[in-house]
Amino acid sequence: MTDEFKTLRKFDAGERREGWLYSLPALEEQGIGKISRLPVSIRIVLESVLRNCDRKKVRRKDVEALAKWNAKSPANEEIPFVVARIVLQDFTGVPLIVDLAAMRSAVQRLGRDPKIIEPLVAVDLVVDHSVQVDFFGSPRALELNLDMEFKRNRERYQFLKWGQQAFKTFQLIPPGIGIVHQVNLEYLAKGVLSQTSEVRGQKSEIFFPDTLVGTDSHTTMINGLGVVGWGVGGIEAEAGMLGQPVYFLTPEVVGVHLTGQLREGVTATDLVLHITQLLRAQKVVGKFVEFYGEGAASLPVPDRATIGNMSPEYGATMGFFPVDRESVNYLRATGRTEEECVAFENYFQAQNMFGMPRKGQIDYSVDIDLDLADVQPSVAGPKRPQDRINLPELGSKFRELLEKPVHDGGYGKKQIDLREKHVVELNGSAPRNGAMFSTDTKEDQGIKPGEARNVLEMVSNRPTPDPGKEIEAESSQVFQHGRTHIGHGSVLIAAITSCTNTSNPSVMIAAGLLAKKAVERGLRVDPGVKTSLAPGSRVVSDYLAKTGLQTYLDQLGFNLVGYGCTTCIGNSGPLHPNIEKTIHKYDLVAASVLSGNRNFEARVHQHIKANFLMSPPLVVAFALAGRVHIDLSRDPLGKDKDGKETFLRDLWPSLSEIQHTMQSALTPETFRKFYRDFAEQNPKWNEIPSSTGDVYQWDEKSDYIHDPPFFENFSMESGHIAEIRGAHALGIFGDTVTTDHISPAGAIKESSPAGKYLMSRGIQSRDFNSYGSRRGNDLVMTRGTFANVRIKNLMVPETEGGVTKYFSPSRTGGSKNGEGEQMSIFDAAMKYAETKTPLVILAGHEYGTGSSRDWAAKGTRLLGVKAVIAASFERIHRSNLLGMGVLPLQFLEGTSAQSLGLDGSEKFSITGLSDSLKPGQQVTLEIEDRSGQQRSVPVKLRIDTPIEIDYYRHGGILPFVLRQLLSK
């Protein structure tokens, strides 16, 4: 180990162990900076920079610059952060392992040892994103969904098993175990790590903080435990695995001083929605947020983790809580060894970083105060997590949004009577002519005037399916029987889902207690509501079973559907076909209620336009109410078995009830029991055959795993940075285009280019699976790029979906009257490729917002896009584009595709690009319209750091890293 600053010191690691650490107090004694006043998150990054300082990858000046971090004006320096480990989920992890496999194949083709491609840090991949809610509301739902998952994903799982044996530092946690961030919190994270190395001629154990990056944006959940980590693009993670530091610019750190305590009836979910709204307004994008003060100290780690989880929603790189007694207690309570717990506490004590900081102890760039007592029960939506609504106001807000014009964020409906409902038969065909009634005017179906609220109760007896009955259909309709009545605001999906909340026993137990009280009063959920419970670990099932609460959840249809992401990632499965038809026919604004963290359009379900985030107990409450246009503080949820109106306050459990129930059910032994021998606990995984060998044998018959073309014709020459000339626009987009718009994760439509391609391969649409599950196949993913049904390309403003206009580069044909020929974005890209025409994308603000998704960049590159010019970029997507060799450029303030009057018929050139480029410099966008008139505007290069110039010159991070490894 190097010790550039002579800071290696001994410390008592506990359990009679002597350890070594790179001492930050010793660095401070050298007068380099006021380290003890730095935010704790910055100090943890500083430790990594100090420990890895070798004068090559990490220079002395990197250590000095960070040690001198200035709260009010942080230096614009690039920090080389070497992380201790990497976590992946399967949607992002499979393509990453595919890339590593492709690199091994490329190295073998060059006649070198493929094993030089090997992760240098520990990599854990949790398979959690592939389970879909096909079956629900039945005791068999878990088993049947798991069967479907294994059937659909067999090829991917075979491939992952190959990866498991091919790479030494790669641990795989099979499906059916849990959700990556909850597994990380409950099991993978250790607080501090150690490695054996030589110190002063002797073998010694060197301790360092547990740090990580993950390929999922909610990696920040681990910040609740005092672990520094955040989401990066898959491409950056790959570079990190292969020994590259993760580079980021010195951040500002926003200190959020928490005081007071949450009031009775207020949950951690309410708090995180409040914080999301507060911090979004404070513009914390690209910044670290650090919570501190006595209010922070009073929060248990699961509450802190819920707050850390939603950092991407408030825009911060991290939402960090320093390490204190609560952090150590959590490790102990979740079954970590005594050795690990003591080492964790002693290490942070020795580094002078133990305990929740109080006001005035730390210098933050910005200070914000929040009194926890001010937080109120809330939901957020219907499209953005930061749009918090106080619970009593949801009904009126929904009504307002329903009539608000679309361009103001509403649904543009006119003169709506929310009492109008449409009858839907769930076990037969849809009612002929879509029979409709209004409870004011009709008495058909036994509904009397003025009884709108009771409509749902009348059809509430969800029949228990016959477990012996053969399951012939592969859809959720199997367990949906009876008749329902739906209209605007009807709740059609109610999902207790997402690591954000399922990792937090207090809200899960609250949901169970609320269900218990509802069942005891005889309340039921309407059969039209698709109910599901998908926790992030089996520990949750254990405590819900031990406390007897699962029985009540089951009776309301919240049977266990799987241990995975489900509705949170959009794997909510189909609605009953008759429900889908009715939504479509009447263009209904139906609702979902979920305990997830994202709700933009088409994220949850393609047919559900209004999606509200809320705590698990509120999900149960809204499932009972069956609609979102209700004031739960005043209106009854329904009637009990004696016909008495029942209100939310009658069902809501008290804090002491929750705590009492929790204490009886959670033990460290439970965690130890469930986090061991994963493969043995999942026989289906053992049954999957796997190939062996260092190099993957690509199978041309596979439609899940395909050798990507990124290393085709790979050579050791890096090439030069050149100007882009004669480019055409493939798309012009407005603001807030998400990575899901660019590369959807959900269902593949038959009529889409990817759907047609799969059909041409003999695959039936019922076997399409989702885009997310096909990320190991570039041929599907390239066709799926910009194929979201909701993306709006302003080149064809009257149409929604992945279409564009193709303009002949020679300007002689290919269009009628020069208007351009309308076709799918993929088809246009392929037509442009025939003439080797470079392409550009023009976009508005926050381009690439949403989940980190490397295929949003990879697909862009494989379509032939050379540059994306946007008003602003989401952090990870910008870095992913650059990582794939696509140039990110930013319009200067006040300029946009609209202000320039662009319609996509123009030709574009980007000039001023050369090998001597500097990060952030201006270059020129030249525009030539169809009449041949030319003009030019300056645009800012969004290559932000010197190393990114190198990446770009090499055609992306992967060729850069591969050339480095091969040149050793």
Q: Which residues bind ligand SF4 (CB under 6 A)?
A: 89, 128, 179-181, 216, 218, 498-500, 565, 568-569, 596-597
Give the type of residue at 775. R
Closest approach, Cβ 219 to ligand SF4, in A, equals 9
Q: Which is nearer to ligand SF4, 356 or 594 (CB)?
A: 594
- The minimum distance between CB 129 and ligand SF4, in angstroms, equals 6
Work out how close the CB of 568 gets to ligand SF4 at its nearest, in angstroms, rounded to a whole number.
3
Contact 773, 767 (CB under 8 A): no
**Shortest distance, position 130 Cβ to ligand SF4, whole Å:** 11
* Nearer to ligand SF4 (CB atom), residue 312 or residue 844: 312
Min CB(875)–ligand SF4 separation in Å: 17
Q: Is 619 in contact with 593 (CB distance < 8 Å)?
A: yes
| Angle CA 277–279–285, to nearest 5 | 120
Smallest separation, CB 942 to ligand SF4 (Å):
26
| Four-residue CA torsion sign, 758, 760, 762, 764 | positive
Task: Please say which residue, 295 or 570, places its beta carbon nearer to ligand SF4.
Answer: 570
- The answer to whether the bond into 312 is cis (omega within 30° of 0) is no
Strand partners, 206: 20, 195
Backbone phi, psi, residue 290, to 5°: -125, 125
CA distance 867 to 851: 21
Amino acid at 781: M
- Nearest distance in Å: CB 458, ligand SF4: 35
Q: Of 79 and 237, which CB lies nearer to ligand SF4 in the complex structure?
A: 237
* Structure tokens given for 168: 């030494």
Rounded to whole angstroms, the Cα distance separating 667 from 543 reads: 9
Q: Which CB atom, from 141 or from 452, has the smaller least distance to ligand SF4? A: 141
Q: Which is nearer to ligand SF4, 219 or 460 (CB)?
A: 219
Report the C-alpha gap between 691 and 703 in whole angstroms: 17
Cβ at position 323, least distance to ligand SF4 in Å:
23
Provide the minimum distance between the beta carbon of 331 and ligand SF4 in the complex, in angstroms, as a whole number: 21
Q: Which is nearer to ligand SF4, 280 or 627 (CB)?
A: 280
Residue among 156 and 861 whose Cβ is closer to ligand SF4: 156
Nearer to ligand SF4 by Cβ, of 596 and 802: the residue is 596
Smallest separation, CB 348 to ligand SF4 (Å)? 27
Cβ distance to ligand SF4 smaller for residue 127 or 754? 127
Biggest CA-to-CA distance, the chain = 90
Which residues are CB-neighbours of 891 under 8 A, at least 6 positions away?
869, 870, 871, 937, 939, 940
How far is CA 210 from its chain centroid?
A: 22
Count how many residues are written for the chain: 968
Cβ atoms of 541 and 512 closer than 8 Å: no
Distance in Å, CB of 386 to ligand SF4, minimum: 16
Question: Which alpha helices (H) appear in 849-942, and where do they start and end?
Answer: 854-862, 875-883
Spatial separation of the C-alpha atoms in residues 647 and 636, rounded to whole Å: 4
Q: How far is the CA of 127 from the CAs of 92, 131, 496, 844, 967, in angstroms?
A: 10, 9, 19, 34, 34
Question: Is the CB of 152 or the CB of 419 nearer to ligand SF4?
Answer: 152
Minimum distance from residue 968 beta carbon to ligand SF4 (Å): 36
Three-class secondary structure assignment of 806-825:
ECCCCCCCCCCCCCCEEEEH
Q: Would the CA dihedral through 708, 712, 716, 720 be positive or negative?
A: negative
Residues forming a β-bridge with 9: 21
Shorter beta-carbon distance to ligand SF4: residue 460 or 851:
851
Which tokens belong to 304?
Answer: 């802190």
253: enclosing H helix or E strand: strand 253-259
Start-to-end Cα distance in the chain:
20
Sign of CA dihedral 510, 513, 515, 521: negative
